[in-house]
Chain A
Amino acid sequence: MAATVKVMRRPDPGETSYIRATLKGMALTFKHMVNPDKVTLQYPEEQPDLSPRWRGTHRMEVHADGRPKCVACGLCPTICPANCIRLVGGEDDQGNRYPIVYEIDEFRCIFCGMCQEVCPVEAIHVGVHFENAEYTRDRFVYDLDRLMEQDHPTTLLWDPSDPRSE
């Protein structure tokens, strides 16, 4: 059996040169530099405009007298697909059902917003908020007091009768 020799063609410099690609990339960069619509946001001095339907960390609404609006109905821990809400119901001194323990593990939360959707008394809300950095992991389990202290705007849920939020 005769040996076969495959003859390779050496690519010419026009094909292998990186100069053309570099120029192409630089051209794109310069195009963006002069594009008035694309800007670098000077965060944190400048804050981004978040959509009203942005779903971030939670906030618990409170009554005028400072009580949480939650009635410990148990619907949000039931519907939560990430199983991150812990609730122990009880009764306060005025005979109202309220949450003795209400905790959300924001690390496990997938920000689906179903808790807000299911709440019969509009107590728990996801919020228009994203600055959540902490020094320790355990600070990401928000208890009832912490949830009641949050003051960022709450999320506007999708309304089927107004699908584009207009």
Chain B
Amino acid sequence: MSEFTQPQETVTLTIDGREVTVPPGTTILQAAESTGNRIPHYCYHPGLSAPAQCRLCLVEVEGAPKLQPSCVTQVRDGQVVHTASEKAKGMRQGVLEFYLANHPLDCPICDQSGECKLQDYVHEEGRKHGRSREPKRVFGRDDFGGDVLFYGDRCVMCTRCVRFMNEVAQDPRLTVVERGNRSVIDTFFEDGVDGSPYAGNIVDICPVGALVSKDFLHKARAWDLDHTPSICPNCSQGCNIDLHVRDNRVQRLKPRANPEVNGHWMCDYGRHRFEWMNRDDRLTRPLVREAGEARPAEWGAALSELLERLEEARPIRAVASPFASTEELAALRRVVDALGGGEILFRSPEADEEIPLPGFPQLARRRDLSPNRRTAELLGMERVGDAQGRGGLESLADYTGTLIVLGDALADMDADFGRQAALYLYLGSHPSAAAGQADVVLPIPTFAEQEGTFINGEGRVQRFWPGLIGPEQARPAWMPLGVVLSRLGVGNLPGSAGEAFLAATEVLPELQGLRHETIGTRGAILNEPVLLAGS
């Protein structure tokens, strides 16, 4: 444990009467944040450079002649900082009054309302009434291309959007035109940010309602949305996201900060692919095929039917989906192994190229467009089919043994698929023509409706949580598969996703030492068990 024995250089200072010890080079704003004291700011963003221009984070530092911008002032030993002194507060009130001099106060029709930093700061510390009597400047709204709308009147000129495009996307599309009171953000060309693959992030970082998403426009109020931590299922990068849900429908995806994976960002490709999570055509009940016809059945009856028909020994093959959770895929592997072993095929879409984010090189929209292909590969499943995730299953269409399909919608297969199979079990979320011949169909929830993990391309196990309520009868695939396993005498029926994860270690030794609890919200690298204090 060398890092604990080496003397570490630290700086101790006092912020609002509270002693804080931080590494040297930290700014006052970050040091204050580490104690939960959030100093108001606009232009500073942890993922961008700090120009110290919004003048809102000025704090009183004893000994300094003037107020200091806390976003760039580095801590010194013995420094005494006051963030809420009369001087600092009065200054903030003055600065906020200037921000409102030209602000339209559109809150009732502004999409940012409820998560707006101007609203928050003015509500907390601003003047009760404005004193400006001059007419306000009016810009109206401008289409910035892509998914972005610009309401110039609401802009506070923090230039976060300009700096994001310059520093992180490294695709300069925005700039400040004019000066002083007339300055405004504008695009260089007619097409604006159109075609820039990460431009959606400027909507997230805009502290006010100046940049808003066209897709989300007027859809929901910020306070109506429930936020659930999740993982983007659209490529093997596995960006950490929040599902923003209202009325049991995903309304938008927002990046969730994780410095190891996606920083503060996510790509537009992933951001806009969520509509399928709201699909209403779902498998809602187990179906059992009787006399050539699929009939709704109780779970108990469907499982008994399944167990009975599994008793006869036959060769087995399976199709899996790299969109299923690690827990589900591992349960499938175990069932196939317990029934004598057989190959498991999966199909996954692939893009022609990666789309990197130059200013944050860890993040790229990967070529592999599924979230959990790594798990499928670790489990020895074999990828078939083309880059659209089609084809490759022709050999299975007339298979005569036991056939299990997990998650794959089999969209390119016809209704005859699996007709010859002695037992055809289909576990899926949406109705599919190719499931028509299945002897037993079991409804499972989508990833947005269940708890589980994905393993991303670099081998990071990341958890996601249920943000939507799935069909009442849907059960994660590890549950019915767990019933099969316990009947076959291999393992106990897991009672939770966490237990299913532990059970997955059987076939995924790479997960050794990991548990749901220790993975937490940041994820953990395979084969690198998380050491907790005292364990």
Contacts and interface: CB of A to CB of B under 8 A. Distances in A.
A89 B219 contact: yes
B273 interface: no
Contact of A121 (B108, B113, B141, B221): B108
Contacts of A71: 108-109
A74 B109 contact: no
A96 to B, nearest CB: 8
B309 interface: no
B113 A91 contact: no
B221 A97 contact: no
Interface in B215-236: 217-221, 223-224
Contacts of B109: 71-73, 96-97
Given A73-B113, A74-B224, A78-B223, A120 B217 contact: no
Given A73-B108, A73-B109, A91 B218 contact: yes
A53 to B, nearest CB: 25
A116 to B, nearest CB: 15
A75 interface: yes
Interface size class of A (residues with CB under 8 A): 10 to 19
A144 to B, nearest CB: 15
Interface in B72-125: 107-109, 113
Contacts of B221: 74, 78
B479 to A, nearest CB: 34
B223 A97 contact: no
B149 to A, nearest CB: 11
A90 to B, nearest CB: 5
B268 to A, nearest CB: 22
Nearest to B109: A97
A31 to B, nearest CB: 57
Given A74-B224, A78-B223, A90 B218 contact: yes
A91 B217 contact: yes
Given A74-B224, A78-B223, A89 B108 contact: no
Given A89-B219, A90-B218, 9 more contacts: A71-B108, A72-B109, A73-B109, A74-B221, A74-B224, A89-B218, A89-B220, A120-B107, A121-B108
Interface of B: 107-109, 113, 141, 217-221, 223-224
Interface of A: 71-75, 78, 89-91, 95-97, 120-121
9 contacts: A71-B108, A72-B218, A73-B113, A74-B224, A89-B218, A89-B220, A91-B217, A97-B218, A120-B107
